[in-house]
Structure 1
Amino acid sequence: MRVPFDRLRTLGTTAALLAAALVPSAPPAVAAAPPMEVYGAWQCSNDACTWGTVRDLTDFDHANHWLVDRGDGRPSVNLVVLSFVHPLRLLDGTTDAQTVDGVPIGINQAVVDYFTSRGIRVMLSIGGITYTDAWNQALAENPALFGQRAAALATRLGVGIEIDYEENTSPNLTGLQTFVDAYRAVHPYDASGADPAARLTIDVAAGDRWLIGLNQYATANWLRTDRPVLDYANAMVPARQPATSGAIANWQEHLTGKPTYNPPVGPLAPAKFTAGLYVAEGSKVRPECNNFAASLQSSTGSWLRSAAPDGAGTSSGLLGYMFWAAERPSVRGVTTVPPNSCEAGVGVGATAHSVAIPMPPLRQS
């Protein structure tokens, strides 16, 4: 039987398709996860974040050596945020038994140099939840001068500044905008990250359902990739350390935003925030401190490094992790002082996640 030419062509095409189907196709290309750019710890000194005494550096090193040495001579972190500076005392330039020119006497050049001499970036956190009323007072009194004094402090110590303003119900956004404008007039945004004093960040809640007004405003006005004002935000720790699924759900809220809120909270680019985890919580030393294999920086690491944009930004992966908190974050809580130091959790994680030290320039998209 003769087969028409068109039929032969059809059969040939079909055979070719069947043959191709039997050949295993190459797996789709998967973009390599970006290196973890920010891997840091809030540092609270030995008096529950007051920094009210000048530290003996031998004692300070004993308490915090794990931060600068994960066990092989390399630091466990590439950022330390000294917490906290009292907002109103900074504005007023207070000098008393615990403060000089508005700065706790324990936060000094020697402590900054302890970290920077080892390639660790240093920032100062202004505020904290204990000082929320002080933030409100400073912003109401003279937010421009407040921003100028924060900028002068950053210049003097060679550090960046973190805004930790935890007013949940009625944040003074007009005053805070003035503060940011005054700071940026002295230290403009620096995409290269070369100027330590130009690093200006803000703390937001673990997800989008607390500090809503602050989060909405910062996301819309300061954390955009097309016209950045602040370098990034820290998604802080929630009331309790969550499970893996809960932690990811919190962080995903920032990526997605809350379009049904009034006003809506827009999506946040992955490259514009970090994820907060406890290392010490109440009376417990967490696996995040001393057991990387059982830690959230292990179980969430793959998600964090590959989290896709969901309406903002173009690159995948959050900037990294921030850990709350080194040494003594509360009067009655556990410390990270030996034997509770965190080389086996935070330190091992720095190796597992190939954390760069010193911190590299941050992604801008």
Structure 2
Amino acid sequence: MKNKKLLFGMSLALTALALVYCSKKSDSATENLTTEQKSTASDRSTEAVASSNISIYGAWHAGSEYCSWATVRTIPEFDSKNHWLIDRGDGQPSVNLIVLSFVNPLKLLNKTNDAQTVNGIPKGMTQDIVNYFKSKNIRVMLSIGGITYTDDWNQALSTNATQLGLNAAAVAQQMGVGIEIDYEESSNPNLTGLQAFITSYRSVLQYDASGNNHAARLTIDLAAGDRWLIDICRKATTDWLKTTNPVLDYANAMVPSRQPSNASAAQTDWQEHINGKSNFNPVIPPLAPCKFTGGLYIVTSRNAAPECINFNSSLIKSTGNYVQTVAPNGAGTTSGMLGYMFWAAECPSTRRVCTTPPNSCENGVGIGAQTYGIPIPMQPLRQQ
């Protein structure tokens, strides 16, 4: 799902204000749903499962060290803080995708070995952590970048973008994970280098519409709407996210600078991708709803958000109809976005609570997964 200084600015920038933080993305200590909550979710889910159009329901994972993932963790310790992700209270996972955030692109290019990194990958992103989720049929991806590593993306792309793509593909194959591109350069991004990265990755791992090859999944993060990361958004929408001859699997519309105040505000951002920006020069074309997810926070300031602890009061619920039914407007033929991504599991910031007991998110994200009948494991994605 970054910087170790305060970031202020772009309303569409992916950021979590904190003394130490990374950015992209209950009153009870129990990790199980109450009988009443299970019953309520079950009643709601009967109709929702039949009509649910949500394929992706995932969380960026910041780890316990604000996205550095610098320390190897034992599975018992990791599970004590993250059990809600694999068990929402009825034995089923709360999500069907986890994106471990973040890998430094320059260290990945150089296959760096240092106090925090092994062969370019943070020491905490171990195969054991990947398998912790995959053993529960939760797909896993690694996110390369984040706003802290924007300069490192620029340097890596200008140094050897092709080799960076080959290194990313090798890690994906070795660990059985997908790769997310989180390149947050808002001013003059190196699109030639980014194209070379994608081309070299795809030379090893071709686009797989079936989704069976987890390592072949390659995605990109865009801003919440079309008014930030404009050049990246234009390039991705024009060349990489087509429903015909797709290059990338899909995009994530990241969280804005703060949680939208209501469903309309969130949907306004997402609608910009669907409509495109015909008034821009050059224009940004429309993006098919089936080619992106929408991002929401699950922790805000020092409190767990309703999205974490109270599904009935959450944007997950109030935007659910829109996400499942929004019509295409110039690209794609089927209605509905791909789903949701949540920022962020565990500890993204010193100024935000962690999603660990007593603030674990089975009563928000977890009930949403049950309500919408989220497919676990993730099924092949809509292509049109």
TM-score by length of structure 2 reads 0.86
SS at 2:340's partner residue? strand
Tell me, in whole angstroms, the C-alpha distance in 2 between the residues paired with 1:340 and 1:33: 30
Q: 1:332 deviation in Å?
A: 3.2
**Counterpart of 2:281?**
262
SS at 2:285's partner residue? coil
Do residues 154 (structure 1) and 154 (structure 2) align?
A: no
Do residues 334 (structure 1) and 353 (structure 2) align?
A: yes
Structure 1 counterpart of 2:326, one-letter code: A
Do residues 111 (structure 1) and 116 (structure 2) align?
A: no
Tell me, in whole angstroms, the C-alpha distance in 2 between the residues paired with 1:326 and 1:301: 21
Assess if the C-alpha contact under 8 Å between 2:278 and 2:285 holds in 1.
yes
Assess if the C-alpha contact under 8 Å between 2:56 and 2:293 holds in 1.
yes
Aligned length: 334
Which blocks of at least 5 consecutive residues in structure 2 are unaligned?
A: 1-49
Do residues 305 (structure 1) and 309 (structure 2) align?
A: no
Q: What does the per-residue CA deviation read over 1:154-203, in whole Å, with 9 as the maximum and x for residues that have no partner?
A: 00100000000000011100000000000000000000000000000000
Assess if the C-alpha contact under 8 Å between 1:89 and 1:103 holds in 2.
yes
Tell me, in whole angstroms, the C-alpha distance in 1 between the residues paired with 2:109 and 2:352: 30
Do residues 130 (structure 1) and 151 (structure 2) align?
A: no
Structure 1 counterpart of 2:72, one-letter code: V
Assess if the C-alpha contact under 8 Å between 1:297 and 1:349 holds in 2.
yes
Do residues 53 (structure 1) and 55 (structure 2) align?
A: no
**Counterpart of 2:335?**
316
- Residues 125 and 152 from structure 1, CA distance in 2 versus in 1: closer, same or farther, beyond 3 angstroms? same
**Counterpart of 1:169?**
187
Do residues 343 (structure 1) and 362 (structure 2) align?
A: yes
**Range moving further from structure 2, 329-338 or 37-46:** 329-338
Do residues 181 (structure 1) and 186 (structure 2) align?
A: no
Task: State the percentage of identical aligned residues.
Answer: 61
SS at 2:76's partner residue? helix
**Counterpart of 2:11?**
none
**Counterpart of 1:20?**
none
Match of 2:89 among 66, 71, 79: 71
**Counterpart of 1:205?**
223
Assess if the C-alpha contact under 8 Å between 1:160 and 1:200 holds in 2.
yes
Structure 1 counterpart of 2:290, one-letter code: A
**Range moving further from structure 2, 210-219 or 281-290:** 281-290
SS at 1:142's partner residue? helix
Do residues 41 (structure 1) and 69 (structure 2) align?
A: no
SS at 1:126's partner residue? strand
SS at 1:149's partner residue? helix
Assess if the C-alpha contact under 8 Å between 1:33 and 1:317 holds in 2.
no
Structure 2 counterpart of 1:334, one-letter code: V
Q: 1:34 deviation in Å?
A: 4.7
Q: 1:147 deviation in Å?
A: 0.2
Q: 1:344 deviation in Å?
A: 0.3
Which blocks of at least 5 consecutive residues in structure 1 are unaligned?
A: 1-31
**Counterpart of 2:111?**
93
Do residues 238 (structure 1) and 256 (structure 2) align?
A: yes
